[in-house]
Structure 1
């Protein structure tokens, strides 16, 4: 129980320090949404594309995190990884290819596999 509380607090702290995103849609929203969400949400092509790239990053994270003991924590760290990958590594507008292949840091190496 203490470990779960600790992981929750760490995950929340990580989210608090994440820099501004390229899409105005929250990571948590995209975790719940299916493909096609961005096209229905935005009329502006640039906003829609930014949303779609971010949605692909979320889908990549969901796939990678599904087998971890603490998938919610993994997703929080994946968001942090994505934002910092954009800010410090690619240093440009992210592409769909970036979103599907960015290196994730889950911090939870205990897989349920």
Structure 2
């Protein structure tokens, strides 16, 4: 048995969760916060059999898309004032961890 931890943007989490539950995967959603952009995201916890891992990953991949966003950034001090300009960063997609489960109990 495996535990899949998939970290997605909030925008993609409902689509991914719906796709997984339609294929009978049991999904638990956790609201989490990313460290770099300090933006809200969602972590999905999916328990499944070893042979179902690749299907779950494909469903997550199909539901998660990368996109660009502009975020404000300070460039430094110039001529008595701070300069600020937006920086384009890649957001979205998914970060997926697949872990071995030693024991699973549903009590």
TM-score category of the 2 structures, normalised to the smaller one: under 0.3
Higher RCO structure, 1 or 2 (CA under 8 Å, sep 6+) = 2
Structure of higher CA gyration radius: 2
Q: TM-score scaled by structure 1?
A: 0.25
- Higher helix fraction (1 or 2): 1
